[in-house]
Structure 1
Amino acid sequence: MIRVAAVGDIHLGPDSAGLLRPAFDTLGACADVLLLAGDLTRHGTPVEARVVAAEVAGLAVPVVAVLGNHDYQSDQQEAVTQELRAAGVHVLEGDGVALRLAGTTVGVAGTKGFCGGFAGGSGSEFGEPEMKAFIRYTRSCAEGLGRALAELRAADCALRIALTHFAPVPDTLAGEPREIYPFLGSYLLAEAMDEQGADLAVHGHAHLGTEHGMTAGGIRVRNVAMPVIDRAFAVYHLASDGRAPASDGRAPAPDADPFAPPAAGRPQVPGVTR
């Protein structure tokens, strides 16, 4: 059984240094890997990235991340990536990593992803150059994710996980205004997952969304934005054949709830946007 801890949209800054570390220090007892689903910083600066790096450096489990739109805000996404990688984080964008976890080879394929919408309400590569470029970027992200999943399959990974920031399905957006669905994700991400296969898909970005969803091909999708899961991380269980046990979802917490962030509950960031 592989235990996958995941969280996104933690939006850390200098004033939240140390906020999540006590919870993350419990990961060795309840998880085999930690996935970070983007929007790790508030404005995408190296200073903020160093705070994130300190929260996850030297943990008892490997850490795999994708960036989110906030991590691109200052046009310093490469510097943000470097800070995280210096702390040992596997930062993915159109590529994957194979990890040996609890005797099982688990592959994680990642991309930030982008906007575009879903069936019945999606953009297309038609019209103005700006619109074509918009959708082509989304398609490029999805194609990168698909290639990474295919490479992990070729590498004989027993389990494969798709990690994105933007949503691959509308299911996990329930609770968000429908008018902004096209800006929260794209069906192209789900198509790539269904075409190449995955055992679990994890994303963030939709703060007002819903935790559970599924692609048309039957891949379980989980929205792990911190405002949705309302804790430092959620834990999902995968059997070595990819099936989820009846307890799939948040790991049950003991009375002391070591999975919850300290006192504040989660980073309190007034005015943070998606």
Structure 2
Amino acid sequence: MTKKKKTKIAAMADIHTKITDHGSLRSAFEQVSEEADVLVICGDLTDTGDEDEAKILGEQLDILKIPVIGVLGNHDYEKGRQKIIKQILAEHNMIILDGESTVVGNVGFAGIKGFGGGFDQYMLSIFGEDMMKQYVHEVVNESLQLDRALTRLEQEYPELPKVALLHYAPIKETIRGEPEQLFPFLGSSHLVEPLIRRQVSAAFHGHAHAGKLCGSTTTKIPVYNVALPVLRKEHSNDFYLIVEV
């Protein structure tokens, strides 16, 4: 039986494209096109959620010679223009996942933004005021969307490894370094449940700029925080991490 070729995934997050960032990612995109099979960008594609920032990023995405997949981050929602941002980037051949899945090479990708809520024994529960319940419902819904997307991949491509893309963190380990007071706003253990249930091969996220590059779930699934400040602190490459799946 022929062994399937591994797919080289380049991952980055929190690029925070500004109006003044013309060409800021050009050299990185040229390099990654030579080194990887697919690029994933895990949220905060823009700095203030402005469509003009998305256009600046889109112009640079045209440099890529490999597929690019991503999810939106909290910054991309700042002005309520997330649908416009998604449309602009789609025009530049970027696939934005929001509870959907796609296949590139020999890997199935599923993605969501995620949300906060805290971790482990300190995870918030659906209890108390309506506003608190809405907060927790948001991350529960995101988790369910990710689970459904991963389930579709299982059913349609049972032979392929699965990779999850998020903006918010699914485990506490990769946000260590941030102030503990911020932990409930950086991710939630609700988000790790579909990763374990659907046995993904790896997960990537961003959002925690002062966190750690690598961690793992209780079942040893590798989780990578690929926020640019983390990559610059912990990895020799300033812009992306390459993982083979």
TM-score (norm 2): 0.93
State the distance in 2 between where 1:47 and 1:29 align. Answer: 28
Amino acid at match of 1:61: I
Shift of 1:98: 1.3
In the TM superposition, what whole-angstrom CA distance separates every residue of 1:118-148 from its partner, at most 9, and x where no partner exists?
A: 0121111111111111100100001000110
**Among residues 22, 26, 30, which one is paired with 2:27 in the alignment?**
22
| Alignment gaps of 5+ in structure 2 | 1-5, 233-237
CA contact (8 A) 2:30 2:63 kept: no
RMSD after superposition: 1.0
CA shift, 1:58, in A, is 4.9
Which AA in structure 2 matches 1:150?
Answer: T
Query: How many angstroms does 1:192 deviate by?
Result: 1.2
Preserved CA contact (<8 Å) 1:149 1:197: no
* Correspondence for 1:151: 152
- Cα shift at 1:232: 1.4
**Structure-to-structure mapping, 1:185-264, within 5 angstroms:** 185-230=187-232, 231-238=238-245
- Aligned partner of 1:88 in structure 2 is 93
Match in the other structure for 1:260: none
Q: Which residue of 1 aligns with 2:3?
A: none
Quote the Cα distance in structure 2 between the aligned partners of 1:64 and 1:135.
27
Shift of the alpha carbon at 1:28? Answer: 2.6
Pairing partner for 1:168 from 165, 170, 180 = 170
Output the amino acid matched with 1:11. H
Hey, what does 2:59 align to over in structure 1? 54
3-state secondary structure, aligned to 2:20: helix
One-letter amino acid of the counterpart of residue 76, structure 1: R
Letter in 2 for 1:131: M
Amino acid at match of 1:138: V
For residues 214 and 133 of structure 1, what CA distance do their matches in structure 2 show? Answer: 29
Deviations 1:22-56 (A, max 9, x none): 11112232100000000011110110111111121
Residues 29, 63 of structure 2: 8 Å contact kept: no
- Code of the residue aligned with 1:202 in structure 2: it is F
Q: Distance in 2 between matches of 1:92 and 1:74?
A: 19
Aligned to 1:118: 119
2:38 corresponds to which of 13, 33, 40: 33
Rounded to whole Å, the distance in 1 between the matches of 2:189 and 2:214 is 16
- Separation in structure 1 between the aligned mates of residue 170 and residue 59 of structure 2, nearest angstrom: 30
Give the corresponding residue for 2:185.
183
Letter in 1 for 2:133: K
How many equivalent pairs are there?
Answer: 234
More helix by share: 2
Q: Which amino acid aligns with 1:75?
A: G
The letter for the 1-side match of 2:37 is D
| Amino acid across the alignment from 1:208 | A
Between the two proteins, what is the percent identity of the paired residues? Answer: 38
